[in-house]
Amino acid sequence: MSTFDVELKRVVDDSYEIETGYELSGKLISDLRKGLVGKIKKFAVITDSVVEELYARHIHKLLLDEGYSSELFVFPAGEKSKVRSTKEMIEDAMLEKEYRRDCCIIAVGGGVVTDLAGFIAGTFARGVPFINYATTLLAAADASVGGKTAVDTPRATNLIGLFNQPKKVYIDIATWKTLPKNQISSGLAETIKHACMADEEFFNYLEKNMDSILKLEKEACDHISYKNCEIKYKVVMKDEKESGLREILNLGHTVGRAIETCSDYRLLHGEAVSIGLVAQTHLSRKLGYMDDSQVVRVRELLKKAALPIEIPDYIDKDELLEKLYTDKKVRDSKLRFVVQYGIGSMVEFDKNDFGISVSKEEASEILDEI
Amino acid sequence: MSTFDVELKRVVDDSYEIETGYELSGKLISDLRKGLVGKIKKFAVITDSVVEELYARHIHKLLLDEGYSSELFVFPAGEKSKVRSTKEMIEDAMLEKEYRRDCCIIAVGGGVVTDLAGFIAGTFARGVPFINYATTLLAAADASVGGKTAVDTPRATNLIGLFNQPKKVYIDIATWKTLPKNQISSGLAETIKHACMADEEFFNYLEKNMDSILKLEKEACDHISYKNCEIKYKVVMKDEKESGLREILNLGHTVGRAIETCSDYRLLHGEAVSIGLVAQTHLSRKLGYMDDSQVVRVRELLKKAALPIEIPDYIDKDELLEKLYTDKKVRDSKLRFVVQYGIGSMVEFDKNDFGISVSKEEASEILDEI
């Protein structure tokens, strides 16, 4: 009998830069030239069938023009592609094209592309570097900070994946003009969520400038892009592995995700989250953490962003309740909620016991209200 | 245009202990009781169809007796199970049984089980802790240090996976008695490889004590188990991400893997590596790094361990050469080899250009010799 100690204590530096601007593909190439990913000369551009022609093929061509080796790997656009079989399909295509350890993945697209490509990068040849080139507001708000990558399975959303930090994130605001209006609004739901939970001043800003944002005016877009990074970063830094504090990023998502699923994805993620945000304000008011005027302000801001604030008629309330209470966060038949405290902060809890327990009856009352 | 810096520099401690002994399942339970994986009370025991009845079900029962929650997840034994579809099958089964982030995986078995289970642990709920309970000599020699986990794909071996360190490794020598003799020998090939590349004294020990080892005598088993860990650890510590030095662990594997594939897995991994080790001694002698007597010593030691030292007749030499020269390590139609220097050390190279370039003609000559 003997024991052997494997000592593996080391300093890891996963720091990276998020750059926001207009038409950043030229900047990407010049960053690569300057050694952003070392001496790597082989790139895999992963994108979806919509973004391919809009932006990804252009980046692929710039890489080739620069003398790099590059291939495009395209999967059908949509949340339904964020599954293990798409990952496998891209891996096989990369292996067939002789990609090995000495490559870098560039994800060009929205959250589905960056989630999937970041996960592929994490397990391809046991990890290759990757770069995110975000072409949606939602990706800018949500997928650019935190390093969460994942795919969905028939039984669970985002439960197979890993934490993996990109080498750099580009947020190309010029791409937002090709987004459908409801996609812009969907991204704004996460932006409003950030304001609700962490920054009253930013909430005021959104109230005053929503029209400019919807018109995609430069200064406003720059500002929300920066604030999204800043707020999310603060939360993530305090809790990189999501042990507790990071739960506050789920504001509005408990009800939101259930609505998204019950709508069979007729509602976009942010649209469902918008309704979820309204729900948590009602819960918060019920518990004495928000007053009427604050609840109205949140609802009105969501409305201004052209987001839904009521549960659509085609969603069956009983089915929704059922869905909520089979959630992984149900304990002792009570569901855990995080709720905001006034505007710009959160109700705080012990880190081992985050959130408020809500019974099915209480949840039912709240859903009746909205 | 603005930039935002995400600072993610931190100290990571992945240290763990390898414990070698007899019948360690009781020790595993007592370690869990003492907090080896914190407050986790839910375990997924992953194993294969052979090890299930031999050892895994017993551990599963001990976990239940201790008041923990536990389920067995079993896949068909054999290298052919080390694929993405097995990973997916186990993930789905775990999700169906309500496994989420607060679980720990216990891998019970040989290298296939520990490779697969370690990979599953790395991506399940974005990473859950895992423990290896190694029941083969090969797993003890090879899979216990280094944190390499992976699956095979139709186009490549071990290319989809990740680096993931276990919380503890148990090497239960008592389990070796249920291994077929050729499995013992297969594990000894990696042991002899370690001696060849790094430790002359250990090589002498193996020469003197091979009979005791084959009889599974306690002291000898303890010693080789410890030396395997020690040698591999030294190499891995210097090069955790396999940028160069770790390549020396591939001693004998260039030819070995090609032979293994050409034999359509009629040869066990270690058996094929044994022939590969002979091949590299011939190359080394040709280059003046080994003399005749040293080459003979390596060959005789492999023979003593009941390992093959010649290419079986059923393997077509031309096919083997073809296989070698479509390898990922071929550059400018030359293949890269690592070779030993005398007994117990390696020919050293620049870290950016590891190994010796060998043309197809030179390789053909060497294969003719053995």
What pLDDT shows up at residue B192? Answer: 97
CB contact under 8 A, B18 and A7: no
ipTM of the complex as predicted: 0.90
A174 touches chain B (CB under 8 A): no
Q: What's the CA gap between B255 and B252, in Å, rounded?
A: 6
What pLDDT shows up at residue A287? Answer: 92
Q: What's the CA gap between B183 and B110, in Å, rounded?
A: 10
A96 touches chain B (CB under 8 A): yes
The tens digit of pLDDT for each residue in A161-182 reads: 999 999 999 999 999 999 999 9
Q: In a 3-state reduction of DSSP, which class is residue B122?
A: helix
Identify all chain B residues contacting A233, using CB atoms and an 8 Å cutoff: 4, 6
B2 touches chain A (CB under 8 A): yes
If phi over 0 gives left and psi between -120 and 50 gives alpha, with beta otherwise, what is residue B312? Answer: beta
Closest CA to B171 of A247, A2, A207: A2
List Cα–Cα distances, B194 to A255, B228, B258, in angstroms: 56, 7, 20
CB contact under 8 A, B126 and A150: yes
Q: What's the CA gap between B184 and B204, in Å, rounded?
A: 19
User: Which A residues 183-242 touch B at CB under 8 Å?
Assistant: 222, 225-226, 229-230, 233, 237, 240-242
User: Does the pLDDT value for residue B242 go beyond 80?
Assistant: no
User: Does the pLDDT value for residue B252 go beyond 80?
Assistant: yes
What pLDDT shows up at residue A106? Answer: 98
Residues facing residue A331 across a β-bridge: A334
H/E run at residue B74: strand B69-75
CB contact under 8 A, B8 and A19: no
C-alpha atoms less than 13 angstroms from C-alpha of B152 in its C-beta half-sphere: 14
Domains of chain A: 17-178 (3.40.50.1970), 181-369 (1.20.1090.10)
What's the CA dihedral at B50, B54, B56, B58 to 10 degrees? 160
What pLDDT shows up at residue A306? Answer: 97
Total residue length of chain A: 370
First to last CA, chain B: 65
Instruction: Suggest the residue from A6, A36, A100, A165 to mutate for an interface test with chain B (most B CBs closer than 10 A).
Output: A6
Q: How close B298 comes to chain A (CA, Å)? A: 27
Q: What's the CA gap between A11 and B281, in Å, rounded?
A: 39
Identify all chain A residues contacting B238, using CB atoms and an 8 Å cutoff: none
Mean of pLDDT over chain A? 92
The tens digit of pLDDT for each residue in A25-79 reads: 999 999 999 999 999 999 999 999 999 999 999 999 999 999 999 999 999 998 8
What pLDDT shows up at residue A79? Answer: 86
Average pLDDT score over residue span B191-215 = 97
The tens digit of pLDDT for each residue in B83-103 reads: 999 999 999 999 999 999 999
pLDDT band at A354 (very low <50, low <70, confident <90, very high): low
Contact A12, B12 (CB under 8 A): yes
A83 touches chain B (CB under 8 A): no
Full DSSP string of B140-168: IIIISSS-EEEEEETTEEEEEEEE---SE
Q: How close A312 comes to chain B (CA, Å)? A: 30
Residue in chain B lying closest to A27 (CA): B1
Residue in chain B lying closest to A1 (CA): B21
Residues facing residue A334 across a β-bridge: A331
The tens digit of pLDDT for each residue in B301-354 reads: 999 999 999 999 999 999 999 888 877 667 777 888 899 999 999 887 665 566
Q: What's the CA gap between B369 and B27, in Å, rounded?
A: 49
> Running DSSP on this structure, what letter comes out for residue B124?
B
Identify all chain B residues contacting A14, using CB atoms and an 8 Å cutoff: 8-9
Q: How close B3 comes to chain A (CA, Å)? A: 4
